[in-house]
Structure 1
Amino acid sequence: MKYVLLGNLSPEWASKQSERVGKARAKLDQLSIKVESIHYTQGYYDFVDIVDAPNPEAVLAFSVWYSTQGLGRIQSMPAFEAKTFETAIKNAAD
């Protein structure tokens, strides 16, 4: 399943980009989460990532790990394909 990760960098790690990304990628690999895209933003969130995860627990584990490492904070949302949304609309009408 795909997820959108909305993230904020901690002040301590904001200037240590390559080290932070290396640690995060290693943990993502360990949890079998594949990164599809990374986008850095201006505004409330510092980055928006699209990932493909084997289950919600893997995403939760990554979010908790990211925070406990002091790297920052992540909010996650499931991301549904258009076809899934269309099916949900049909099912809601029944």
Structure 2
Amino acid sequence: MKYVLLGSLSPEWASKQSERVEKAKSKLDSLGIKIESVYYTQGYYDFVDIVDAPNAGAMLAFSVWYATQGLGKVQSMPAFDAKTFEAAIKDATA
């Protein structure tokens, strides 16, 4: 399942980019979550990632881990492709 991660950095970790990324990638790998893309943004969120997770539990575990490490906060949202969305519309209107 694909997810969009909206993340914020804690002030303590904002200046330790390479260490934060290394820790996060290691945890993602251990949970079977693959990073597809990473974008850094300006505004309410500091980064937006697209990932592929084996299940919702893995994504929840990463979000909890990220916060408990003091790295910041992550909001995760499932992401659906156009085919899945079109099927849902068809099912909803049937």
TM-score range, shorter chain: over 0.9
Letter in 2 for 1:83: K
| 1:21-59 Cα shifts (integer Å, max 9, x gaps) | 000000000000000000000000000000000000000
Letter in 1 for 2:78: P
- SS of equivalent to 2:38: strand
Letter in 2 for 1:37: S
Corresponding residue number in structure 1 for 2:68:
68
> TM-score scaled by structure 2?
1.00
Over aligned residues, Cα RMSD in angstroms? 0.2
List gaps (5 residues or longer) in structure 1.
Answer: none
Residues matched between the structures, number:
94
Runs of 4+ in 1 over 4 A off after TM superposition: none
- SS of equivalent to 1:3: strand
List gaps (5 residues or longer) in structure 2.
Answer: none
Measure the CA separation in 1 of the matches of 2:81 and 2:39.
19
Q: Does 1:32 align with 2:32?
A: yes
> TM-score scaled by structure 1?
1.00
Corresponding residue number in structure 2 for 1:85:
85
Task: Give the share of equivalent positions with the same residue, in percent.
Answer: 79
Letter in 2 for 1:38: V
Corresponding residue number in structure 1 for 2:50:
50
Q: CA deviation at 1:66?
A: 0.2
Measure the CA separation in 2 of the matches of 1:79 and 1:89.
15
